[in-house]
Amino acid sequence: MQAHDTRSAAKRTNTLTLGQTKLRSVIRGIGSYLPVNKVSNADLEKMVDTSDDWIVQRTGIRNRHIAAEGETTSMLATHAANAALANAGLTAQDIDLVIVATSSPDYTFPSTATQVQAAIGMHHGAAFDLQAVCSGFVYAITVADKFLISGSHKRALVIGAETFSRLLDWNDRTTCVLFGDGAGAVVLEAQQGTGSVQDRGVLTTHLRSDGRHREKLYVDGGPSSTKTVGHLRMQGKDVFRHAVSMVTDVMVDAFAATNTTAADLDWFVPHQANRRIIDASAEKLGIAPEKIVVTVDQHGNTSAASIPLALATAVADGRIKPGQLVMIEAMGGGFTWGSALIRW
């Protein structure tokens, strides 16, 4: 009886590997938006005791964009969402899920995602925010992927959008030079795949968090504690120390889950916080420097928006092409961290 069960199981497994189809969340479109107001390191030299040299050497940042007075996170997100829809050749009517990853929402509530939903003229489906700070986009891709591969939803707009300039203490040179505002969005569509790593779409996702690290990177306000918005506070050195090992851990998990290696990657598109973290992570895993997409020089750390901004840049300039293997990863406040391996 036992032998028979084992044979049946083997037969079932074989049938599954040979003939199985699997829903995949395929990236069908991408768009991004940066506020018009560009602020250079030289501009910051006039505001705080800093220098272009220090900022470039320690972070790789040269410029950041700052939202105009009255320009909210949902407005940036809406620009990016409309660009992604146009790129996908779709309209809001084709979408049934909107997730906005943000830690700088327009309001405590309603969610920024419902503001975007209204702004793009979508009156059906579901929209909600996801808060995982700089890891927000990786978390949002993961959540959207679960919705799509379950068959419950067909197409998702996944947006990372931030106005971190509103959370900064502009007298604190250790943080105010690092961050910027922006938004990026992708349209994910459920498509039939074969279950192999040759499929287009999200191949694997790996999320982690550890709430013991709260005081290393946080905002010192909130509705339930201070009844204020608060300012970003960071022990930069401590964050840096953890970042490389955390993001490389979850990339190793992604390689193991898909039986791939760094050599299989076409592009490495990391969270854009600091050039030194990016380079150290790539070096630790043996990812060739020419495969790294870096845009932190142009927009600083835009938290949840940074990965879709970098992806949109590399798609627009022709680097990322359909069929290529792309690794995204991020680490941020909480701490939260995660990776996703995607075949474009």
SS3 (DSSP) at 269: strand
* First and final C-alpha spacing in the chain: 46
Closest residue to bound ligand UT7 by CB: 236
**Residues forming the site for ligand UT7 (CB under 6 A):** 50, 54, 58-59, 134, 173-174, 177, 217, 236-237, 239-240, 243, 271, 273-274, 277, 301, 331-332
Q: What residue spans of the chain are helical by DSSP H?
A: 2-19, 41-45, 52-59, 73-88, 112-119, 136-150, 173-176, 236-258, 275-285, 296-299, 306-316
User: Hey, is 164 helix, strand or coil?
Assistant: helix
Select 210 or 264, whichever has its Cβ closest to ligand UT7: 210
Which residue from 110, 138, 77 is spatially nearest to 336, judged by alpha carbons? 138
The two three-digit tokens of residue 250, written as one number: 């979850």
Nearest to ligand UT7 of 331, 340 (CB atom): 331
DSSP 263: G
- Nearest CB to ligand UT7, comparing residues 125 and 236: 236
Q: How far is the CB of 74 from ligand UT7 (least distance, A)?
A: 22
- The answer for 227, left when phi > 0, alpha when psi is -120 to 50, beta otherwise, is left
Phi, psi angle pair for 267, to nearest 5°? -140, 140
Nearest-approach distance from CB 276 to ligand UT7, in angstroms = 7
- The distance of closest approach from Cβ of residue 217 to ligand UT7 in the complex, given in angstroms and rounded to an integer, is 6
User: Residue 110, preceding bond cis, omega within 30 degrees?
Assistant: yes
Q: Nearest distance from residue 61's CB to ligand UT7, in Å?
A: 9
Enter the tokens of residue 4. 């028979």
Q: Is 47 helix (H, G, I), strand (E, B) or coil?
A: coil
Residues recognised as catalytic: 134, 271, 301
Q: Which is nearer to ligand UT7, 23 or 280 (CB)?
A: 280
For 98, the token pair is 């909107």
Helices 275-285 and 52-59 cross at an angle (nearest 10°) of 20
| 25 vs 302, beta carbon nearer ligand UT7 | 302
The label of the residue with tokens 């898909």 reads 258
